[in-house]
Chains A and B, each alone.
Chain A
């Protein structure tokens, strides 16, 4: 029957919990005995359509949740929530609509001042945040940027670094300082039009000055005893390397980033956590085992596959099952070119040809005594 190892592991955990109870030894033994008896009856039956049950368990309550897509966190950040968020996770999008990170600090940095300092280091400052105004000098065909010297001083940004960053972002330009706080940007290319100049201006404004790229905002919050930084924007790789950040407790809602940084097992756990948290926030009580299966299904091929036509459903081996879902004609035509065979093992295939599907009680046969 079921793997003894798993059973032993489960009961070891249970025993530890039971030991902590305020009960006599005999009572504790009885509890364990009862648990053991129940455990045998609680196992999955063979043939159970576990996938359908998992799918239903997630999507049935979805009809009852509110479609309030945005949720204002206590920190004031707008984070996408509810049904749209669940769909976003199942679609395995490269980046979520509102990426966010929760960053915990190392014990020695766990105070308000260091939190503030780290936060200002994390938040990305762009050139546009550092200037008073910029204007196009059409006579000389250049951009004049009036810098806010005080801000730059506060943020400890040097003009040389800034110029380097601008050059990295925009090619073929010359950047000079005409005086202490005026920056002149010229195009090296001949025949620059006003349109080109405008385009350069938007690019220059957007160039990186300080902080971690993609982190738009960073808010400090006190959660219990910890100072927690919550960000808008996510950059797992760079954040974990920042001094003072507890890299073991950094989290992001960007599952794809987790996959690229830590691998598929971490991504699987991230999918589970994200769906679970989203559902819990909506007051939906769904057993974690259903989410385990969904996450396993999405990650079992070694990369994150979306639920749907470009992912799991489109990769099925059966032609009929694929055509039944979406893009019917495409799958049939492709199958005819390749000369595909459908072995009719799955459920829809059997429904289509009118046979009993090999699932649940369809796996066994029943005989009646006449």
Chain B
């Protein structure tokens, strides 16, 4: 196919419309009594074919081959093309009504960028001296002059006389202005407005067809009335009706005009609506294209497959194929694929002969195909273990939302993925679905493998640190394993080493009876690795020469958000070592955790009586303060905060005090934490926080709605259980109970209010931030780093002289820098 090098936009002349059209359409009837399309009707077979088996009357090709042909309608009277109405107005006002010359001095305006809208035209024509009358644009689609309507015919006459030279001053290089007023209406091919046959055999026409029928019907009536010399007012009415139908044919959402409707009352989707917005041609079909060789199903976790792998169900693997050209060397292999056929995995679905003939492999054709198979044929074989596929989860918010994985064909019906890649996809397993795409060319496969493989994307371009790493239980496991007093017996140790498949490592000393967790962790560290950093609780972690000497491993070290060890290994040893390290972490921590056991129980959220007393003390202290503030407020003596009324100041005061109460409680509780699994999770950053613990064991505190205490509900009170105008804590959303103890009904209600607000908030936020992302990406998508490291747009205009000002790609950097001097 010829290459498109540029696209030129221009207006279409009536002559051109006639030229490209095959026939005139003048009959408002569509089908005859036998349900055959009527010649000269809008479904005339000259306009193209949509029914399989029929032939186009113009070009003779079959349905699918014939792209369709235009027709045209001769309009009895000219009408405006509503899409150009603004320009019609502009040109009308700026040209003389008598001689069609410009009503402003072209010399003044020619050499600058000028705005035609801002030019004030002269009343007296500088050319012929005619005194131009004031013209008013009557929305939506007519012009008046001194209260009289100007007809499109008159305007067309005026436009016809405008010289070509003046047109370029009027910024109209796309065609003649009179073309904006239609005398001939093109009828698009049937292929652009196919009719569908419903189940009961009845035909349902496209919206455009309906609209065209309307236009033809009125056009015909107008023609008839013109012929018989009907009175002026009837002609005017029909003319206006014709204008309405042509207008709504172009755009059915003109403000001031009632939209044309279908019999059922549904608004018709006409030309503009076909192109516009998210579900229009541009965004739905032109930029968002549908693809073959893709699959979608539910995802589930698999601890035992690699980070770079994805588990593909056998069912899917038998449908997705890769075209492989047969050569001497792979002939045998491919023949085996064909032999296995479409039913068995590792088989093949189609063969393509060198002359392009495509054959489906099935029990009938298999033998014949096997016989004719020879080098030069293409076999579309099933995907198999080790093939590269693209894996994606929507919303695709960043480039790590689509990464390349290696196929691992597995039983059952879900995609399987390693848990450490959940973070970049933002995936969980509560029913999430993901998509797989199979690159078809060697080029695409090479690109996927080199640039998109998971290991190439360990580093997030956003902050220059690893975004793939351990999460949740992996962190708890690693922490418990590397805690100072963790000892493992020989049996467990050997078991984990086996799981790691490191039997040949010379690092392992199997002579001891017991091992420390740190020893086990050191085994998976690369040789000669040194690092020194602070763990989450602020204590030192020291790794020297590939051995964990001091400290325990937690979120800071291995998490999927800038884990320090992963970061350094990736920088110093490369991606593949980092991948192996991450995989090993998952194995040792889960293996150890399974051996040790890990659980959360209700009793863990119990706190001592002493602590409960302390909580009461803190609560009493602050509520006394708040009561005092309320008292001063009632006396009118409260100091107002800047920019706030007295009432607002009181509220701010109370909110600050309640939040202080909460933080004091949390501080008190975190000083005396019990040593249990729940606390381990919170402390290491695996899951949950001290705040969650406080909610469960202590109390929940002030519920805020829209940043303030809760006031809505009944008159002067939230719920009928409170006195009117009660300003106390309890009446406005303070929850004294803990989740463990249980909430009383009013507290439960307030908690529900807060919860609902949270849900509303997050659903609103996705909408807002989604649009922000669309705008940002759209504004900057053409910016590229060029060979000279400048950033330019598609017009080669420079945006930045050096990309990122120092040329460093954050995706390859160490947190945006070259080297972290604190860690060398």
Q: How many pairs, one residue from A and one from B, have CB atoms within 8 Å of each other in the complex?
A: 326
| Cα of A131 to Cα of B620 in the assembled complex, Å | 43
Give residues 223-278 of A contacting B (CB, 8 Å): 232
Contact between B821 and A17, CB atoms less than 8 A apart: yes
Contact between A35 and B819, CB atoms less than 8 A apart: yes
| Cα of A1 to Cα of B811 in the assembled complex, Å | 19
The yes or no answer to A31 lying at the interface (CB within 8 A) is yes
Contact between B287 and A285, CB atoms less than 8 A apart: no
| Cα of A341 to Cα of B4 in the assembled complex, Å | 12
Residue from A49, A294, A339, A355 whose CB has the most chain B CB atoms within 10 Å: A339
| Cα of A320 to Cα of B3 in the assembled complex, Å | 17
Contact between A297 and B7, CB atoms less than 8 A apart: no
Contact between A342 and B463, CB atoms less than 8 A apart: no
Contact between B784 and A48, CB atoms less than 8 A apart: yes
The yes or no answer to A170 lying at the interface (CB within 8 A) is no
Q: How far is the CB of A360 from chain B (nearest CB, A)?
A: 8
A336-B10, A345-B795 given; A77·B773 CB < 8 A: no
A285-B463, A287-B462, A341-B8 given; A44·B789 CB < 8 A: yes
The yes or no answer to B262 lying at the interface (CB within 8 A) is no
Q: Which residues of A contact B272 (CB under 8 A)?
A: 329
The yes or no answer to A157 lying at the interface (CB within 8 A) is no
Q: Which residues of B contact A139 (CB under 8 A)?
A: none
Give residues 64-86 of A contacting B (CB, 8 Å): 65-68, 70, 72, 75-78, 83-84, 86
Q: How far is the CB of B601 from chain A (nearest CB, A)?
A: 31
Contact between A313 and B768, CB atoms less than 8 A apart: no
Spot the interface stretch: A2-10, A101-109, A196-204.
A2-10
Contact between B9 and A335, CB atoms less than 8 A apart: yes
When each residue 639-669 of chain B gets 1 if its CB lies under 8 Å from chain A and 0 otherwise, what string results? 0011110000000100000000000000000
One of B446, B768, B786 near A87 (C-beta < 8 A): B768
Q: How far is the CB of B5 from chain A (nearest CB, A)?
A: 7
One of A51, A232, A321 near B642 (C-beta < 8 A): A232
Spot the interface stretch: B218-226, B503-511, B550-558, B799-807.
B799-807
Shortest Cβ distance from A70 into B: residue: B707
- Classify chain B: how many residues form its interface, as a range: 35 or more
Q: Which residues of B contact A63 (CB under 8 A)?
A: 397, 765-766, 769-770
Shortest Cβ distance from A329 into B: residue: B272
Contact between B783 and A49, CB atoms less than 8 A apart: yes
Shortest Cβ distance from B275 into A: residue: A328
Spot the interface stretch: A53-61, A148-156, A185-193.
A53-61
Q: Which residues of A contact B549 (CB under 8 A)?
A: none
| Cα of A50 to Cα of B644 in the assembled complex, Å | 45
Shortest Cβ distance from A325 into B: residue: B778
Contact between A57 and B398, CB atoms less than 8 A apart: yes
- How many of chain A's residues have a CB under 8 angstroms from any CB in B? 113
Give residues 328-370 of A contacting B (CB, 8 Å): 328-329, 332-333, 335-348, 351-355, 359-361, 366, 368, 370
The yes or no answer to A38 lying at the interface (CB within 8 A) is yes
Q: Which residues of B contact A56 (CB under 8 A)?
A: 397-399, 461-462, 773, 777
The yes or no answer to B794 lying at the interface (CB within 8 A) is yes
Contact between A351 and B4, CB atoms less than 8 A apart: no
Q: Which residues of B contact A319 (CB under 8 A)?
A: 7, 9
The yes or no answer to B447 lying at the interface (CB within 8 A) is yes
Q: Which residues of B contact A44 (CB under 8 A)?
A: 785, 789, 803-804, 807-809
| Cα of A86 to Cα of B798 in the assembled complex, Å | 25
The yes or no answer to A216 lying at the interface (CB within 8 A) is yes
| Cα of A247 to Cα of B803 in the assembled complex, Å | 32
Contact between A51 and B784, CB atoms less than 8 A apart: yes
The yes or no answer to B816 lying at the interface (CB within 8 A) is yes
A21-B821, A59-B397 given; A293·B462 CB < 8 A: no
| Cα of A105 to Cα of B593 in the assembled complex, Å | 58
Spot the interface stretch: A159-167, A175-183, A304-312.
A304-312
Q: How far is the CB of B765 from chain A (nearest CB, A)?
A: 4
The yes or no answer to A138 lying at the interface (CB within 8 A) is no
Q: Which residues of A contact B84 (CB under 8 A)?
A: 333, 337
Contact between B785 and A50, CB atoms less than 8 A apart: yes
Contact between B777 and A83, CB atoms less than 8 A apart: no
Spot the interface stretch: B53-61, B168-176, B188-196, B293-301.
B168-176
Contact between B171 and A219, CB atoms less than 8 A apart: no
| Cα of A339 to Cα of B171 in the assembled complex, Å | 9
Contact between B782 and A51, CB atoms less than 8 A apart: yes
Contact between A6 and B276, CB atoms less than 8 A apart: no
The yes or no answer to A46 lying at the interface (CB within 8 A) is yes
The yes or no answer to B83 lying at the interface (CB within 8 A) is yes
Q: How far is the CB of B436 from chain A (nearest CB, A)?
A: 21
| Cα of A296 to Cα of B800 in the assembled complex, Å | 7
Contact between A50 and B784, CB atoms less than 8 A apart: yes
The yes or no answer to B371 lying at the interface (CB within 8 A) is no
One of B7, B772, B813 near A62 (C-beta < 8 A): B772
The yes or no answer to B761 lying at the interface (CB within 8 A) is yes
Q: Which residues of B contact A50 (CB under 8 A)?
A: 783-785, 791, 803-804
A59-B776, A328-B277, A337-B84 given; A351·B173 CB < 8 A: no
Give residues 745-770 of B contacting A (CB, 8 Å): 761-762, 764-766, 768-770
| Cα of A355 to Cα of B3 in the assembled complex, Å | 9
| Cα of A68 to Cα of B747 in the assembled complex, Å | 23
> B residues touching A (Cβ–Cβ < 8 Å)?
3-11, 83-84, 87, 171-175, 251, 272, 275-277, 280, 282-283, 286-287, 289, 327, 397-399, 442-443, 446-447, 451, 461-464, 562, 571, 641-644, 652, 707, 761-762, 764-766, 768-770, 772-773, 775-787, 789, 791, 793-795, 797-800, 802-814, 816, 818-819, 821, 824
- 28 examples of A-B residue contacts, CB within 8 angstroms: A3-B802, A6-B807, A10-B818, A31-B821, A35-B818, A49-B783, A50-B804, A53-B811, A55-B780, A60-B397, A67-B762, A286-B462, A287-B464, A288-B816, A292-B804, A293-B780, A294-B776, A297-B779, A312-B779, A319-B7, A319-B9, A336-B9, A336-B11, A338-B174, A339-B173, A340-B174, A355-B3, A366-B447
The 8 closest A-B pairs by CB, nearest first: A51-B783, A51-B780, A339-B174, A59-B773, A339-B173, A289-B804, A55-B776, A346-B794
- Beyond A59-B777, A289-B804, list 13 extra A-B contacts (CB 8 Å): A31-B824, A49-B781, A50-B783, A56-B773, A67-B762, A76-B643, A90-B775, A316-B782, A332-B9, A338-B174, A342-B7, A347-B794, A348-B287
